[in-house]
């Protein structure tokens, strides 16, 4: 008798043993249906054993193996097991959440067509005999006739977006059939690659340095200023991978960057199947993309952080664009870093991994300085000059709705020349807070330790963390005063001010509120490219990855707010953010200029920014981190706890600290403190930090400590370990 050890989507860090009947065809990685309590659950068999620690009479049997669902390959299972151990998260939740949602539901699992081909009847049809008006059917027939092994479904949708109706008609006529090809039997011929722009000397050097590492593990940091052509380097390397009949995985931090990057990649590789994997896809779309990647038919997978777990049998290259971005770190559940998992996958599969950024994470940069990663630098823009960066000193000066006269003058002159300006305010809404001048009452969120943001057009105050909203009061709830006033600037307030000051200007506000509707952002991007916009008012959505040729001026409002944060990573993030948004200026033939409003024009961060010298900035911050004993010179984990009362969370953390092994002297356990945001969505939050100069010592401590935490847990307190935290 065999036994299957099955991962189930439950918050228990264990596998569950089930009997396997002699007639059941099951292998490691199989998706199975099993009884669990009074329900039937979907699970994944991670181990097949000849014995179980439990008596067979106590075990229930596997009900069925879902053969329509591909098995998880061994390399992906190994990565998922590593993540469960390293990040101390239940193995079942790790494994099941790596699968598309449709594969986790027992009643929604159906075979999906992976490819299409002509039937015998279809091969007898001459495309010229079809009516002239049947253009889609004619084109489809020609494409399928030319494809000896059929056409991958994802590639067909990319090549002929409007072919669905024609495909359905031809299937009904019996001319076309869907099928699931055997990847081993398909000839993955090198695809057609269209020529891109000529590479600069620095780009060519980067490509020639990385190419020899194909077929073995090597980590490369591609440090290039914004506009230096990092994407062209990626495309050249992807072409090399495809030429060797390999797949490429390209990870990006933001969903908004995916469609335009996909269009650029598709234009370079018109015959290659390219699939997207991100949270914007519906369940069916994500399943089709996942299956195309898993079968090996998708040559290029373009996705956000979850795509790092995608099965890819022919994986030959991994690229992580904007590797420094905080979006690559999951903030709840399995708190993994997609960048770090990408490095693990590359090492496991013996393929090169390229980490690209204009402002690398200091952990990555330090690894490059130590020689563990290859360092390649693109110091100049490919087809434009680097923008001039200056500060606008606002000390003691009167501002107009938060805008300095110097900034307004620059916007006016830029508009006169017919060029576009970006006013960058990384805060949506009208104003960050509503205040009563009489008694100093402010509009606090009742569920979070933050202020409600004023949204004037909807006459509401909203919490951007928990979603709480309420109407703007007519009078102060505390003293009854009627002189309530918005304090600070959000995108709506800046938009209103610019509309009043420049009545003839065409102004477009771009933030999460205005881009919420489907396809809204694509329409806005077309407006900008068509020159139908003079002034852009936007948040971080506009800070990276966009190329607007007519945009020559960037004005940054309220950058000082991050200068003196309690988070030791704040300066690193601010520098990266400002470098990114500055990079939007002067991307074509016209020179670019950046103006940063500040009350601290002599601050070292702004001085380094004006020199556009990341190396100098990084050297100073790394020196400070080393003296303070902070990452990347130490390794951290944070135990986070939340409860209805702060004292319950703190008491749990104190018990957790007391339960640590006192003999592990290489590890420091700090005292519990309230979280930076002490209350979120009605829960009080606290945390304690564990730190060591040795990664091995830290994880030996955590391996011993985590099981003790399970025993200390109470129903009134929720807790989680955050390994290599990005938020302190």
3-state secondary structure of 621: helix
Q: What pLDDT score was predicted for residue 63?
A: 93
Please check whether residue 232 is in contact with residue 124, taking contact to mean a CB–CB distance below 8 angstroms: no
Among candidate residues 42, 109, 118, the one with its CA nearest the CA of residue 69: 109
Edge to edge, what strands does the sheet with 460-462 contain?
453-455, 460-462, 469-471
Phi, psi of 710 (to 5 degrees): -60, -40
Please check whether residue 296 is in contact with residue 275, taking contact to mean a CB–CB distance below 8 angstroms: no
pTM of the full structure: 0.88
pLDDT in tens, 313-326: 999 999 999 999 99
Residue 299 to residue 629: CA distance in whole angstroms: 44
Residue 550 to residue 567: CA distance in whole angstroms: 36
Q: What pLDDT score was predicted for residue 109?
A: 54
Query: How far out from the chain centre does Cα 275 lie?
Result: 16
Count of beta carbons in the 10 Å neighbourhood of residue 487: 14
Residue 357 to residue 580: CA distance in whole angstroms: 10
Residue 238 to residue 250: CA distance in whole angstroms: 9
Residue 234 to residue 238: CA distance in whole angstroms: 6
Residue 26 to residue 20: CA distance in whole angstroms: 8
Query: Per the structure block, which two tokens stand in for 499?
Result: 């509309």
Q: What pLDDT score was predicted for residue 715?
A: 84
Count of beta carbons in the 10 Å neighbourhood of residue 602: 9
Residue 521 to residue 508: CA distance in whole angstroms: 11
CA distances (Å), 308 to each of 20, 508, 653, in order?
Answer: 32, 35, 33
| 491 contact partners, CB below 8 Å, separation of at least 6 | 425, 427, 428, 429, 509, 511, 537, 538, 539
Among candidate residues 658, 645, 650, the one with its CA nearest the CA of residue 711: 658
Check if 388-431+488-617 and 635-723 are the same fold. no
Domain ranges of the chain: 2-104, 115-179, 201-378, 388-431+488-617, 635-723
Rama region for 284: left / alpha / beta (φ>0; ψ in -120 to 50; rest): alpha
Residue 183 to residue 198: CA distance in whole angstroms: 35
Query: Per the structure block, which two tokens stand in for 576?
Result: 């990266």
Query: Per the structure block, which two tokens stand in for 10?
Result: 């439950």
DSSP, residue by residue, 103-148: GG-TTS------EEEE-HHHHT--GGGS-TT-HHHHHHHHHHHH-T
| 656 contact partners, CB below 8 Å, separation of at least 6 | 639, 688, 705, 708, 709, 712, 719
Query: Per the structure block, which two tokens stand in for 674?
Result: 């309230």
Residue 468 to residue 202: CA distance in whole angstroms: 50
3-state secondary structure of 48: strand
Among candidate residues 649, 665, 666, the one with its CA nearest the CA of residue 714: 649
Residue 95 to residue 81: CA distance in whole angstroms: 8
Among candidate residues 222, 232, 219, 183, the one with its CA nearest the CA of residue 318: 219
Residues of the chain with pLDDT under 50: none
Fold of 201-378: Rossmann fold (3.40.50)
Query: Per the structure block, which two tokens stand in for 453?
Result: 């943001």
| 138 contact partners, CB below 8 Å, separation of at least 6 | 127, 130
3-state secondary structure of 182: coil
- Where does 388-431+488-617 sit in CATH, by number? 3.40.50.300
The domain covering 635-723 belongs, at the CATH homologous superfamily level, to: Ribosomal protein S10 (3.30.70.600)
Q: What pLDDT score was predicted for residue 178?
A: 80
Residue 483 to residue 148: CA distance in whole angstroms: 75
Is residue 158 packed enough to be buried (19+ CB in 10 Å), middle (13-18) or exposed (0-12)? buried
Residue 125 to residue 391: CA distance in whole angstroms: 69
Please check whether residue 469 is in contact with residue 454, taking contact to mean a CB–CB distance below 8 angstroms: no
Query: How far out from the chain centre does Cα 15 lie?
Result: 29
Would you state the CATH architecture of domain 2-104? 3-Layer(aba) Sandwich (3.40)
Query: Per the structure block, which two tokens stand in for 573?
Result: 């993030």
Please check whether residue 479 is in contact with residue 441, taking contact to mean a CB–CB distance below 8 angstroms: yes
């Amino acid at each position: 008798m065999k036994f299957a050890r099955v991962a189930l989507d439950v918050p228990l860090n264990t596998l569950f043993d089930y009997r396997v009947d002699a007639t059941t065809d099951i292998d490691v990685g199989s998706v199975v249906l099993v009884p669990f309590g009074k329900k039937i659950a979907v699970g994944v068999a991670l181990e097949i054993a000849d014995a179980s620690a439990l008596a067979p009479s106590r075990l229930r049997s596997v009900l069925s193996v879902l053969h329509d669902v591909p098995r998880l390959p061994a390399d992906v299972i190994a990565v998922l097991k590593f993540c469960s151990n390293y990040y101390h998260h239940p193995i079942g939740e790790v494994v099941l959440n790596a699968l598309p949602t449709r594969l986790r539901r027992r009643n929604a699992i159906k075979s999906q067509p992976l490819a299409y081909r002509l039937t015998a009847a279809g091969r007898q049809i001459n495309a010229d005999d079809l009516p002239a008006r049947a253009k889609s059917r004619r084109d489809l027939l020609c494409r399928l006739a030319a494809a000896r092994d059929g056409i991958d479904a994802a590639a067909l949708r990319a090549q002929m977006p409007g072919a669905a109706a024609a495909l359905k008609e031809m299937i009904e006529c019996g001319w076309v059939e869907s099928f699931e090809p055997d990847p081993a039997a398909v000839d993955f011929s090198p695809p057609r690659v269209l020529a891109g722009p000529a590479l600069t000397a620095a780009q060519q050097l980067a490509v020639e340095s990385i190419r020899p590492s194909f077929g073995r593990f090597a980590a490369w940091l591609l440090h290039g200023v914004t506009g230096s052509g990092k994407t062209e380097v990626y495309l050249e390397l992807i072409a090399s991978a495809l030429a060797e009949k390999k797949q490429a995985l390209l990870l990006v931090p933001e969903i908004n960057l995916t469609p335009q990057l996909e269009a650029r990649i598709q234009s370079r590789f018109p015959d290659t199947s390219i699939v997207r994997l991100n949270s914007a896809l519906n369940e069916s779309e994500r399943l089709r993309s996942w299956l195309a990647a898993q079968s090996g038919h998708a040559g290029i997978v373009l996705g956000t952080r979850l795509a790092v777990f995608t099965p890819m049998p022919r994986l030959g290259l991994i690229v992580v664009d904007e590797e420094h971005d905080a979006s690559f770190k999951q903030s709840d559940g399995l708190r993994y870093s997609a960048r770090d998992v990408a490095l693990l996958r590359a090492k496991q599969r013996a393929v090169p991994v390229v980490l690209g950024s204009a402002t690398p994470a200091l952990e990555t940069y330090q690894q490059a300085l130590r020689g563990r990663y290859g360092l390649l630098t693109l110091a100049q823009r490919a087809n434009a000059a680097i923008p001039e960066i200056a500060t606008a000193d606002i000390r003691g000066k009167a501002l107009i709705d938060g805008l300095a006269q110097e900034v307004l003058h620059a916007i006016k002159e830029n508009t006169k020349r017919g060029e576009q300006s970006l006013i960058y305010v990384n805060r949506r809404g009208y104003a960050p807070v509503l205040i009563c001048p009489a008694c100093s009452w402010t509009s606090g969120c009742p569920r979070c330790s933050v202020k409600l943001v004023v949204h004037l057009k909807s006459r509401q105050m909203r919490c951007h963390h928990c979603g709480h909203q309420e109407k703007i009061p007519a009078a102060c709830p505390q003293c009854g005063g009627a002189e309530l006033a918005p304090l600070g600037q959000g995108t709506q307030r800046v938009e209103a001010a610019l509309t009043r000051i420049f009545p003839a200007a065409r102004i477009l506000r771009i933030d999460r509120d205005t881009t919420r509707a489907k396809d809204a952002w694509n329409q806005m991007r077309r407006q900008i490219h068509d020159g139908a916009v003079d002034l852009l008012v936007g948040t971080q959505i506009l800070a990276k990855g966009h190329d607007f040729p007519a945009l020559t001026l960037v004005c940054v409002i309220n950058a000082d707010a991050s200068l003196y944060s309690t988070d030791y990573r704040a300066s690193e993030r601010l520098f990266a953010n400002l470098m990114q948004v500055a990079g939007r200026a002067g991307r074509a033939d016209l020179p670019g200029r950046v103006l940063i409003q500040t009350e601290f024009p002599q601050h070292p961060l702004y001085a380094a920014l004006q020199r556009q010298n990341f190396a100098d900035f990084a050297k100073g911050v790394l020196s400070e981190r080393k003296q303070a004993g902070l990452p990347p010179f130490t390794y951290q984990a944070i135990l986070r706890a939340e409860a209805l009362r702060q004292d319950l969370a703190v008491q749990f953390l104190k018990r957790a600290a007391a339960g640590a092994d006192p003999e592990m002297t290489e590890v420091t356990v700090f005292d519990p403190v309230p979280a930076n945001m002490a209350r979120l969505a009605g829960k009080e939050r606290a945390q304690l930090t564990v730190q060591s100069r040795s990664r091995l010592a830290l994880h030996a401590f955590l391996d011993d400590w985590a099981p003790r935490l399970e025993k200390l847990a109470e129903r009134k307190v929720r807790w989680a370990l955050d390994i290599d935290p990005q938020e302190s």
